[in-house]
Structures are given as C-alpha cells and as structure tokens.
Amino acid sequence: MTAEAALYIGKALCILAMVATAPAEAMVVKSAFEAIGRNPQLEASLFGKAIISIALVESTAIYALVAFFTL
C-alpha cells in the first residue's frame, strides 16, 4: 500500500463520523418534537434550545471534517 492510498483510506474513515452524528441529531429533534406534541405551549421556549443542542451535537461531525482536511 502506498502512502497516498493510506491517506485516502484515512480520509474515508473520517467520513464514518456521520454514522453516529446523524442518528444523534435525529434523537435531539425527535425528543424536542415529542415534547412539543405533548405540550404545544413549550414550542417557543424549546425552539432555541433545540437549535443550540443540534449545533452542539453537530460539532462532533465538524471535528471529523477538520480532521478530514488536515489529513
């Protein structure tokens, strides 16, 4: 295996971060929607919090992206 091939395999492994982050984001959205469904008055206060927690969860994918480009 040449060094270049190893590099590309490493980059492909970085993409695998999505396997975990996509379900994680879905879980955040799911529980937020469930809470709104149970108590619709919560919508105004939950929206901002849900957006922020999604951004926090997404940051793990961003770390993988940074690793992807620094490889």
Partner 1 sequence: MNLSLPGDAPTISALVLEKIGSFSITNTMTSSLFGDAVLIILCLVAAKFTVRNPGKFQLIIEGFLLGVSSFIEQIIGDKKAAWRVMPLVTTLILFILVSNLVLFFVPILSGFTYNGMTMFRSHTSDINTTAALAFGMVFLSHVYSIHATNVVTHLGKYIQFRHVILSFFKGIKKGIMASVEAFVGILDLISEVSKILSLSLRLFGNMFAGELLVSVLMGMLAIGLPLPMMILSLFSGTIQAIVFGALVAGTLGSIAKEELHKQNKFT
Left (φ > 0), alpha (ψ -120 to 50) or beta: where does 39 sit?
beta
Task: Rank residues 1 and 44 by Cβ distance to partner 1 and give the closer one.
Answer: 44
Task: Rank residues 2 and 41 by Cβ distance to partner 1 and give the closer one.
Answer: 41
| Whole-number Å distance between alpha carbons of 71 and 22 | 23
Task: Rank residues 36 and 61 by Cβ distance to partner 1 and give the closer one.
Answer: 61
Q: Identify whether the C-beta of residue 60 lies closer than 8 Å to the C-beta of residue 21.
A: yes
| Whole-number Å distance between alpha carbons of 56 and 48 | 12
Shortest reach from residue 1's CB to partner 1, in Å: 26
Q: Which stretch binds partner 1 (CB under 8 A): 1-9, 14-22, 31-39, 53-61?
A: 53-61
Binding site for partner 1 (CB under 8 A): 45, 48, 51-52, 55-56, 59, 62-63, 65-66, 69-70
